[in-house]
Amino acid sequence: MKRREFFAAASSLMLPVMLDGVGVRSFAKGSAMVESLRQTSALNNDRILVIVYLGGGNDGLNTVIPLEYYSEYNQLRSNIAIPESSVLKLAGNLETGFHPAMTGMRAMYDEGKLAIVHSVSYPNPNLSHHRSTDIWMTGVDSSQYASSGWAGRYLDDRFPSYPQNYPNGEMEDPLAVQIGQITATALLGPQQSMGITLQDPATFYQLIGEPNTTIDSNLPCCDAGDLINYIRQQQVLTIGFGSEIKKAAEAGVNLAAYPPASQNNELAEKLKIVARLIHGGLKSKIYYVELGGFDTHAEQVGTSSTEGLHAQLLKKLSDGIAAFQNDLKLQGTENKVLGMTFSDFGRRATSNASKGTDHGIGAPMFVFGTGIKRQLVGNNPDLINGLLPLTPTANNTNRDIKMQIDFRRVYADILNDWFGSAASKTDQFLFSNFNTTSLFSDFVQSISSGSWINPEIWSNGRVPDAGSTIKINPGHIVEVGHNITAKNVKVEQGGELKFLGDYNVNITG
């Protein structure tokens, strides 16, 4: 191909795109203005969140197994129960174990890099896949609707008026990157997606070609005009971000071993790309990946309950996340990356006759990375007194797992403590104020008045132990009916420890 022909062909790949008369490359990369902006950049906070969505509703009770209630567990789901001897034991935690396929995540737990948040859900749970996933992604009450996602609202606030004039000197990379196909609601901003979606950085760049500017910014009326505008913006952004992504993908290296291709671990493949982009210096704040197939109404176990569909899925999850974490460690990027998993909802405690489980309520979330300060939020679901409905009727033997932790408390901690968002902003993103879970905090605090031994009054959903540093918040009266041992107890002004008898506080810190 002749040179002239080449240029012509290359430019013909481009589309008539222009935003407010500003070409996407108007901030040339090496320009003085851009350089000065970069040096004084407000974005030196380089923390990253990786969201892992388990599509279909993960069966929590076969993922995180409550060993302390093993016989009740076995009774509820004898056709799919994991044998007690096969459950993976956790360091320093006798009450809880992992599915035998989760060796990688068990090792992360033992190293202090993985937290379990027990029985996460929201009030008045909705058991439709679509609606419940939407509630999780948009971060609303089950009676509310929002068309933007929780992460999208955060990014929209942090990078105002995106996508006009992005990429620019201040933020030259996509705000969020989804490895996959159709963009997830969690990343939707008030107007549109705050991220870009790609399958693979190499082909992505080939697909989009080179930028071009042109002519006609007029739009037809009505919805057609909105759609054309939207598609043109996607074209501009894609082209604008394409080279940055390519550069990061080329500069980044995977240093850890990932599961071999023969295992078809699609989650691991996606996380591998994420690790490469992070290592390559992409400044995107949020990455989003999915692993589907968790809607296990039938045959979630095989001939043996430690094999089958669910075991394969958990192996993919655990192997993928463990390889990713190891990669970050070897790259030296470990301390700036936090990961979390979520799913549509949990599944019923009682199994069905098809060796499966129907849609249910509470299920564990995992939060992982070196940034976590505690590994347990909430307790194992109480399989003796804590199942729903509280008093089953004769023809309703189907039991469910009660919520302990509202998922938005975890979101609030991530926004406040991980990203450093102002508390008032976080409340705005989540439409309400949510109590902390102390996931990123050294101390446990009271979140309401009540008896010391009631886990619900403590931010981490657990009764404090001898190693806890405790803060009693103003307005909270905590009643003490026994001797207490703790590392430290601080009673804020207006808070109160009310002793119901002659009991001691033994401070060990």
Partner 1 sequence: MAYLDTYTNLLTSATAAHLLRRATFGPTRQEIIDFTGKTAQQAVELLISNAALGVSVAPPVEMDETRSDAGQPFLNKPFDHSRSGVYNNYIQYWWLGLMTEQKGRPSVLEKLTAFWQNHFVTAHTIVEDYRFVDRYIRFLRANALGNFKDLAIGITKDPAMLVFQNGFQNTKELPNENYGRELQELFTVGQKDFAGNNNYTEEDVKAAARVLTGWQVTNRNNIGSTSFGSTFNPVRHDISDKSFSEKYNNTVITGRSGESAGDGELLDLVNMLLAHPETPKFICRKLYRWYVNPNVTQEIEDQVIIPLATFFASPANNYAIMPVVKKLLSSNIFFDTRNIGAIVKSPAELVIGTIRFFDQPVPDLTTEFVPFRVMMNYIYFSLRLLEQNFLDQPSVFGFVPYYQTGYSKNWINGTTLGLRGVRTDALSNPGPVIKPDYVLGIDILKELRTIQPNFEDVAGTSAITCEQVLQRFTANLFAIELSQAQQDFLIDQIMMKGSSPRATWQHEWNAYRSTPQDETKQNVIFWRCRALLKYILRMAEFQLF
Given the complex with partner 1, which of 132 and 379 has the nearer CB atom? 132
d(CA 484, CA 278): 46
Q: What type of residue is 161?
A: S
Interacting residue with partner 1 among 86, 103, 165, 234 (CB under 8 A): 234
Residue 223 touches partner 1, criterion: CB under 8 A: yes
Q: Interface with partner 1 includes 94 (CB under 8 A)?
A: no
The single-letter DSSP state of residue 475 is T
Site for partner 1 in 46-65 (CB under 8 A): 55-56
Closest distance of CB 374 from partner 1, Å: 34
Alpha helices (runs of H) in 209-297, residue ranges in sequence order: 222-251, 266-279
Residue 71 or 147 with smaller CB distance to partner 1: 147
User: What is the radius of gyration, based on Cα positions, of the chain?
Assistant: 25
- Token reading at 39: 């040096």
Among positions 380-399, residues that touch partner 1 (CB under 8 A) are 395-396, 398
Strands (E), 262-393: 286-291, 337-343, 363-368, 376-377, 387-388
**23: how many CB neighbours lie within 10 A of its CB?**
15
Among 130, 262, 385, 420, binds partner 1 (CB under 8 A): 130
Which residue number, 25 or 47, has a Cβ lying nearer to partner 1? 25
Residue 296 in contact with residue 258, Cβ under 8 Å? no
Tokens 């963009």 correspond to what residue?
183
Q: Which is nearer to partner 1, 166 or 204 (CB)?
A: 204
3-state secondary structure of 395: coil
Number of residues that bind partner 1 (CB under 8 A): 70
Residue of 86, 115, 101, 57 whose CA lies nearest to 314: 101
Where does this chain touch partner 1 (CB under 8 A) — which range of 9-17, 257-265, 379-387, 430-438? 9-17
Neighbours of 159 (CB within 10 A): 18
Of the candidate residues 33, 227, 423, 466, the single one contacting partner 1 (CB under 8 A): 227
- 260 vs 151: CA distance, rounded Å: 32
Which residues within the stretch 290-319 sit at the binding site for partner 1 (CB under 8 A)?
292, 295, 297-298
Sheet holding 450-451, edge to edge: 450-451, 477-480, 496-499
Residue 167 binding partner 1, by CB under 8 A: no
Q: For partner 1, which residue of 36, 75, 128, 335 counts as binding (CB under 8 A)?
A: 128
Q: In the block, which residue shows the tokens 């799913």?
A: 343
Shortest distance, CB of residue 127 to partner 1, whole angstroms? 6
* 228: contact with partner 1 by CB under 8 A: yes
> By the criterion CB under 8 A, which residues form the site for partner 1?
5, 8-9, 12-16, 55-56, 127-131, 134, 143, 145, 147, 181-183, 185, 188, 192-193, 196-199, 203-204, 206-209, 214-216, 218, 220-224, 227-228, 230-232, 234-235, 237-238, 241-242, 292, 295, 297-298, 351-354, 356, 358-359, 395-396, 398
